[in-house]
Amino acid sequence: MRDQPFEGGTVTCLARATIESARAVVDSAKLDLGFANIVSPIDGVTAIATAQIGDYVNPMGDPLTTVSTIDPILVNFTASEQEYLNAMKAASAPGSSEQGTLKSLVWQLQLADGSAYPQKGQFYALDREVNVRTGAILVKVMFPNPGNVLRPGGFGSISTIVNIQRNALLVPQRAVTELQGGYLVAVVDKANTVSIRPIKVGPRIDSMWIVSEGLKANERIVAE
């Protein structure tokens, strides 16, 4: 009898190579399949998608959609340099820091339809500089947004209380006329004669205006 060469080891190696090649094909298919599912890295609401199921997309193409985190949501507004300085002077307590003063303020938001937003806002961030072109500084206030009522791009009026002025003299805003940077009211004397008088005004409170100079308590003015 002649000895025959044993080739079982060769067959086993080829089988293993075939199996590993098939596994590599499966792994590549799984990787390709994973690219078919786009998962947002953040929670939020999405815009209407620009691509539909079956469209071919690639990393160099247009964005598929935009995702915004809106709970909580940031409200951006600009305050004039004078408003900022006045608020800091009025709200600052001895020894308090700028950040501490701003974080102590409670903010209210009036929506575009005139209704009051029920949630209160807190200071989030203050820009580092006053814009040299506008003379204003950017402020960000954070509001809770359960139910995603507020959406990016919306408008509203934001306010906070920085000081309390006692015994303030208030007049309806509709009674005040603005003329060339000044403010006028029509005053009615005891003889029911009307005269126009210049006044100096302070902040607006809802539908009223604080008058700092030009009027006395119990004087009558024309409101309608």
Q: Which of 57-61, 97-101, 106-110 has the highest mean pLDDT?
A: 106-110
Q: Where are the domains of the chain?
A: 8-67, 69-160, 170-221
Task: Note whether 69-160 and 170-221 share their fold.
Answer: no
CA–CA separation, 100 and 78 (whole Å) = 20
pLDDT band at 178 (very low <50, low <70, confident <90, very high): confident
- Average pLDDT of the chain is 83
pLDDT digits (tens, 9 = 90+) for 48-72: 888 887 788 777 878 888 888 888 8
Average pLDDT of span 9-20: 74
CB atoms within 10 A of CB 224: 5
d(CA 126, CA 176) in angstroms, rounded, equals 33
**Three-class secondary structure of residue 203 per DSSP:** strand
pLDDT at 109: 92
Instruction: Kindly indicate whether the domain formed by 170-221 is annotated with CATH number 1.10.1370.40.
Output: no
The Cβ-side half-sphere exposure at 74, using a 13 Å CA radius, reads 11
Task: Quote the CA–CA distance of 142 and 159 in Å, as a whole number.
Answer: 13
CATH for the stretch 69-160? 2.40.30.170
Q: Say what the pTM is.
A: 0.60
pLDDT tens-digit series, residues 122-176: 999 888 889 888 889 999 999 999 888 888 888 988 888 877 778 888 888 888 8
Q: Which of 162, 125, 118, 126 is nearest to 144 (CA)?
A: 118
CB neighbour class for 143 (10 Å; exposed up to 12, middle 13-18, buried from 19): buried
In the predicted model, is pLDDT for residue 77 greater than 80?
yes
